[in-house]
Structure formats: C-alpha cells, structure tokens
Structure 1
Amino acid sequence: MDDTVNTTSLKNIIFDLGDVIIPIDLTAPMRNFAMLANLPEEQVVALWQEHNLVNQYETGLVDDDGFRNHIRELFRQDKNAPEGWADEVIDTAWNTILLDLPLNRIERVKELGQKYRLFLLSNTSPIHIRQVNRVLTNMGEPALEDLFERVFYSYEVRLAKPSPDIYRHVLTEANLVAEETMFLDDNAANIQSAATLGIQAVHVQAPKTILEYTADL
C-alpha cells in the first residue's frame, strides 16, 4: 500500500470524517467529563476503556439514550448532579471532540463532486453527526447527507473500520469498483485494511490536508 493514486482510472472518492474533513481532539471529551465529575482524567479514561462504550455506541449496539445513561452510571460520583446530568450536558461534553470546520475543505469536496462520485465513511455517533450538520447549516452549507452521494455511518451499518467488512459493504451498496476508488483516512489501520481489497487508500497525515492530497485531481 502506498499513497500513489491512479488518477486515470479514478471514478470515486470515499472520505473519512474526523481529522479528514473536520479536525478533532480525541482527548477533549475525557477532559470535560473529568471536570464535570470532579474526577482525575486518568480515572475517567480507565472507566471509559473498561466499558468499551465508544465502540458499542458507534456500532449501534446502544442508542443515544443508552449511551447517555451509561455515562451517568459511570460518573455518578458527581455530587452536583445526583440525578444525573441533563442530555444537553452530556452531548456538549461529547461534542468537544469536534473542532472548527475549515470552510476550504467543504469547498474542495463540492469541487470534487463535479467530477467524481463522492461518499462518506465514518466511525461515528448520532450525537456527533447532528452537531456537524448543525455547524454546516450555520455556515450556510449543505448537510453531510447532501454533500455526498451517500453516507455510511458505523452506527447505521453496524460495522466499524478497520474491519474489511465495512469496505465490502460500501463497495457493494454503492456499486463501486475498488481499483477505481480512492479512500482518504487519517488512521493507518483503516488505510491498510482498505488497501487489501484493492482500494486506492491514502493515509491523511498532518500537516497536509485533503487540499494537498487531492490537488492533482
């Protein structure tokens, strides 16, 4: 696997969301939940990992209410909220993972959409997708579902990267030929898995962004 793309045969582009289209800070929610619960951040991280909550939520094994209730149970040590935090409090802390969305990336996606079939494939949660779409709306931009021909969210398809099954699902559902498809993702394991299926997988690594990785398209 390498980052060389055969532009001659290229017809389709699949984008990851976090740190490809929108910058993220994976540690921010843990810091915020730690502050809310008045607990050491290390303890919050340990509890989070022990219960494997993110994977369950992002693969649709628990819904929004189940996710929030599990958080209330995990962090019920909070003396200021003995009945549990409000939904909005949990959602706000969870959404701190999302940083400012660069408009130039959205513009680039729209440009590429004039030439290629575009898709979105993300390990994500409903709370995050609703927030990203609110941000896009406030910017006067289309929602994710309108920016791309089709979106594939892990919680809807009940699969997650880097499982090869999620790539097979996308290829089959969208009727794509792997060798005619470029995939942009910031996670090396996701890239390696996609590449084994013949997808032209490109590892997005800062400080370069999709602007540089798609400059020749």
Structure 2
Amino acid sequence: MKNTRIKNIIFDLGDVILNIDVPVASQSFAELSGREQSEILAIFNENEIFRQFETGSMDEAGFRNFIREILEFDDLSDEAIDTAWNSLLLDLPPERVELLKNLGTQYRLFLLSNTSSIHITQVNKILEASTGVKKLQDLFETVFLSYEMGVMKPDPLIYQKVLAQAGIKADETLFLDDNYDNIQAAAKLGIEVIHVQKPTTILEYLKDYAV
C-alpha cells in the first residue's frame, strides 16, 4: 500500500534493478585457477575480498594484484580478472528503467549500492546496451556507492550519510533492498522499507507509486 508521506525513494542495485547471481563469480575464478568453487569461496571469505574492494580499501590495481596473490596465479591478466569478477552481473530488464523514469517525475530518486568500480563500469555498459541510457547517474539524483563512501550496508553510518547529503528525512523516504540485514538497519533509522524478494520485482512492489 502506498505511503502518501513518501517523497524520496532509495534503490539498491543488485537484484533490485539489475539481476545478479553472486556465486557465479566464485565459480568463474574456480575455472580460471583450476580450484574448487568451495575453496575459492573460503579464500574470498577469509580475506574479506568483497568488503575490502567495496569499501574502497583497495583500488582496481590493488584488487587485481590481491586476486593474483591469494589465488597464487601471477599470470592472470587484468581482463581475465575483470571478466570473472563481472560474471555475477546478469541482465537489466528495460521495464525497470521505464519504471524509474516514471517515478522520477514524482519522487526524488537515489541509488545506494555495495559495489566496486569494476562492477559499476560493467553495469553502465549493460544499462546502455539494454536501454540506451548511458549511465546510472542519468536515472538518479545521486548515486551513492560504497567504495566511494568508505562504508557499506548495513552499517547505519551509510544511511545517515545518504540522508544528510541528500537533505532528506527518514520518514519521508522509502528504501528497497533484497538483503534483509540492509533493510532492518534502514528501518531502525525510521526509513520506510520494502524487502525485495524474488520472483516479485520492483514493478509489483511499486505499482501503487507509479503514475
């Protein structure tokens, strides 16, 4: 049901706007390195590879070199690493972009994503190929990215930063994310939330908010 107090909508990216499959990346690195996927996952978790890259602790070159180091594969090319890393990014349905354009005529729209610079470059390529829109910044008033902010969801600080920088009030803001912990953290700050769960998409969740 539509909340008439809402003036602002914040969207997560993965599995909210863009379809993703996170385990595909570890499988891609497993195939590259000749290891089992379970071993790759263990290595990534032990080294907090996602957290380090997605909070800006490493730049792109540092990330690629770290991948070579932890996989003990010095000959792995930048292109091969980027391709494997980006393999979790799937498709971006054009109808979701049309919904964003519609909502943008009535609400202030923002993006808040735990992500890396390599992923964002590829997402923009997928976006343009599927919809003709060149970059995410063309759809949102502000694009908030964890690697640029130095903090990631569900840390309450990231939501506080978004509210402060955008100059918006929590109780006038709706946040959509597929991760339960991220949703809960935002809700505790007074933000209205929608937990996006497949197979339901934002088209159904936001039908009352669209024109």
Instruction: Please classify the TM superposition score into its range, dividing by the shorter chain length.
Output: over 0.9
How is 1:152-163 mapped onto 2 (pairs within 5 angstroms)? 152-163=144-155
1:133 corresponds to: 124
Matching residue's letter, 1:89: A
Instruction: For 1:100 and 1:159, locate their aligned partners in 2 and report how far apart those are by CA, in whole Å.
Output: 26
1:168 corresponds to: 160
Matching residue's letter, 2:13: L
TM superposition shift of 1:53: 1.1
SS at match of 2:200: coil
TM superposition shift of 1:40: 1.1
SS at match of 2:175: strand
Aligned length: 208
Verify: 1:75 aligned to 2:71, yes or no: yes
> Where in structure 2 are there 5+ consecutive unaligned residues?
none
TM superposition shift of 1:145: 1.0
TM superposition shift of 1:146: 1.2
1:106 corresponds to: 97
Q: Deviations over 1:152-192 (max 9, x none)?
A: 00000101000111000000000001111000000000000
1:97 corresponds to: 88
SS at match of 1:216: coil
How is 1:144-155 mapped onto 2 (pairs within 5 angstroms)? 144-155=136-147
Instruction: For 2:134 and 2:34, locate their aligned partners in 1 and report how far apart those are by CA, in whole Å.
Output: 39
SS at match of 1:198: coil
Verify: 1:23 aligned to 2:14, yes or no: no
1:124 corresponds to: 115
CA RMSD of aligned residues (A): 1.0
Instruction: Show structure 1 runs of 4+ deviating over 6 A.
Output: none
Instruction: For 2:2 and 2:174, locate their aligned partners in 1 and report how far apart those are by CA, in whole Å.
Output: 7
* Normalised TM-score (structure 1): 0.93
Instruction: For 1:41 and 1:156, locate their aligned partners in 2 and report how far apart those are by CA, in whole Å.
Output: 29
* Normalised TM-score (structure 2): 0.96
> Where in structure 1 are there 5+ consecutive unaligned residues?
none
